[in-house]
């Protein structure tokens, strides 16, 4: 296993590991127990995201995109559009119901 990302804290390490997992790369977050070695002080540099040797190049590309702010995740635009459509219909029905209740 190789280190694909050196995180500032355990939360960021899990975010990056989730990003890699969403793109089909199995990732392991190491350093959970080292975080508590210094108590409640905000420690950094103890957590790393590890990937298999054959996934290292692709993982580092995804990490580079993550750090650049592009956050490319394997999601479908159709799914996002579907959620927006449901939200709009829900709001429309809700407004109509409120309007009907106010005029009773």
Residue bearing the bigger pLDDT, 20 or 35: 20
Chain centroid to Cα 24, Å, comes to 14
Which residue in 56, 50, 61 sits closest to 17, CA to CA?
50
Least confident piece of the model among 4-8, 34-38, 87-91 = 34-38
* Structure-token pair, residue 16: 């990056």
Length of the chain: 104
DSSP code for 38: G
pLDDT digits (tens, 9 = 90+) for 36-78: 555 555 455 678 899 999 999 999 999 998 888 855 555 545 5
Instruction: Confirm if 66 and 13 have CB atoms less than 8 A apart.
Output: no
Instruction: Confirm if 62 and 19 have CB atoms less than 8 A apart.
Output: yes
Tell me how far apart the alpha carbons of residues 12 and 80 are, in angstroms, rounded to a whole number.
24
């Amino acid at each position: 296993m190789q280190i694909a990302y050196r995180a500032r804290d355990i939360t960021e390490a899990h975010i990056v590991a989730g990003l890699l997992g969403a793109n089909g790369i199995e990732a392991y977050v190491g350093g959970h127990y080292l975080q508590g070695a210094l108590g409640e002080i905000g420690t950094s540099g103890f957590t790393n995201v590890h990937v298999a040797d054959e996934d290292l190049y692709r993982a580092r590309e995804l990490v580079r995109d993550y750090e650049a702010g592009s956050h490319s995740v394997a999601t479908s635009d159709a799914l996002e559009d579907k959620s927006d459509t449901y939200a709009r219909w829900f709001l429309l029905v809700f407004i109509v119901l409120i309007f009907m209740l106010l005029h009773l």
